[in-house]
Amino acid sequence: QVPLVESGGGWVQAGGSLRLSCAASGPSFRNNALGWFRQAPGKEREFVAVINWSGHSTYYSDSAKGRFTISRDGAKNAVYLQMNSLKPEDTAVYYCAAAEGGSTTDFIGARTLRSWGQGTQVTVSS
């Protein structure tokens, strides 16, 4: 059983929007920081955004800042990524992940993360 399941990816034209969702299918992640990474073809995986356990603290990569918004729903054990003003360079497989701890630094500074999803493809055409 995959602990985290992403959805909401797809194809969109540049300037458009997509909302990614990530739901926990088994264990609860209510006390864990949750976030998103992405990996484009031929490139290394890169951090996108993270939200702490309470939802009151967030952190974004420079490429995501001002365009993407991360949020979470504790009751649904889910995390979301609203992506606006999409660019072709946003094309990648997007993965959600959970940290062992609850703070954003637990996520960003972690050598390994507690759980990963299988990814959802986002394609932005010019």
Question: Residues with Cβ < 8 Å from 38, sequence gap 6 or more?
Answer: 45, 46, 48, 90, 92, 93, 94, 95, 122
pLDDT for 24-67, tens place per residue?
A: 877 788 899 999 999 999 999 999 999 999 999 999 999 999 99
Strand partners of residue 29: none
Position 76 scores a pLDDT of 87
| C-alpha torsion angle, residues 13, 121, 115, 36 (rounded to 10) | -20
Position 27 scores a pLDDT of 74
d(C-alpha 126, C-alpha 1), whole Å:
37
**What's the token pair of residue 77?**
């054990």
Residues in the chain: 126
Check whether 20 has a pLDDT greater than 70: yes
Q: Please give the mean pLDDT across all residues of the chain.
A: 94
Report the alpha-carbon angle 13-50-46, nearest 5. Answer: 60
Position 28 scores a pLDDT of 84
Position 25 scores a pLDDT of 78
User: If pLDDT is split at 50, 70 and 90, which confidence band does 2 have?
Assistant: low
Q: Hey, is 4 helix, strand or coil?
A: strand
* Of 4-8, 21-25, 83-87, 120-124, the least confident: 21-25
